């Protein structure tokens, strides 16, 4: 999701190969033996295996919406917030969402601990419509997919929380044409299939 957001905003046309993780094609494993998605093979043959790395690569090629240049703060401050989302918040999110996968984990405890990050985001959003100003930035688009996951674990609970600004920010993201476009399902790729390009519409 994040990789597609970055490629779409930067208008970097790529060949898309939709796969099923339980049946990984050999071509994918040859490019990226760790077998996770996303995987982006660059024109020079280098391989990017992390969604944030793909976003940064794409936006450094072309950044028409100035996602790397926030109105408030700096790129380093955005990356710090994103890294905290990935390294602190996501650990609690995983144990809240996938508690049976972990030994002796109380999902509600991790939900409560994750709320520290939600509270911080909500406070940022009391000042502006987006995390670093009045326009979307890299931080918004790199963090929103994780907040969406968190909200969807128990939407009834999330909807009754007091995070009014965070909920409005998330709903703006979920209702955007950009989000709806990246959710499009593509046929599973097999060797020899015609090329599918992403993004289909460079104007979004």
Token pair 């994103």 in the structure block, residue: 82
Tokens for 17?
Answer: 């190969």
Query: Contact at 8 Å (CB) between 63 and 10?
Result: yes
| pLDDT greater than 80 at residue 204 | no
pLDDT of residue 150: 98
| Angle CA 78–81–84, to nearest 5 | 150
Write the DSSP symbol of residue 22: G
Per residue in 128-142, pLDDT tens?
A: 999 999 999 999 999
pLDDT of residue 90: 97
pLDDT of residue 55: 98
CB atoms within 10 A of CB 95: 19
Per residue in 154-188, pLDDT tens?
A: 999 999 999 999 999 999 999 999 999 999 999 99
- What domains lie within the chain, and their CATH numbers? 2-66+184-190 (3.40.30.10), 75-179 (1.20.1050.10)
pTM, 2 dp: 0.94
Tokens for 9?
Answer: 């905003």
Give, in order, the Cα–Cα distances in Å from 166 to each of 7, 20, 103, 119, 154. 25, 33, 31, 8, 16
Q: What is the mean pLDDT of the chain?
A: 95
Per residue in 74-132, pLDDT tens?
A: 999 999 999 999 999 999 999 999 999 999 999 999 999 999 999 999 999 999 999 99
| Angle CA 90–32–80, to nearest 5 | 30
- Angle between helical axes of 138-153 and 164-175 (0-180°, round to 10): 100
pLDDT of residue 202: 66
Residue 15 phi, psi (nearest 5) = -85, 120
């Amino acid at each position: 999701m994040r990789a597609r957001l970055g490629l779409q905003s930067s208008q970097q046309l790529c060949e898309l190969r939709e796969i099923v993780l339980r049946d990984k094609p050999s071509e994918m494993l040859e490019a990226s033996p760790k077998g996770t998605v996303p995987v982006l093979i660059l024109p020079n043959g280098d391989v990017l295996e992390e969604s944030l790395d793909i976003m940064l690569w794409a936006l450094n090629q072309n950044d028409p919406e100035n996602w790397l240049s926030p109105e408030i703060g700096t790129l380093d401050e955005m990356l710090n917030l994103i890294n905290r989302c990935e390294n602190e918040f996501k650990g609690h999110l995983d144990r809240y969402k996938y508690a049976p996968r972990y030994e002796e984990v109380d999902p509600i405890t991790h939900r409560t601990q994750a709320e520290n990050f939600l509270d911080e985001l909500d406070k940022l959003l009391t000042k502006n419509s987006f995390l670093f100003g009045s326009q979307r930035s890299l931080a918004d688009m790199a963090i929103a997919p994780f907040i969406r996951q968190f909200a969807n674990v128990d939407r009834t609970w999330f909807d009754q929380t007091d995070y009014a600004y965070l909920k409005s920010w998330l709903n703006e993201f979920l209702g955007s044409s950009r989000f709806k476009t990246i959710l499009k399902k593509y046929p599973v790729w097999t060797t020899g299939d015609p090329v599918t390009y992403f993004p289909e519409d460079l104007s979004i």
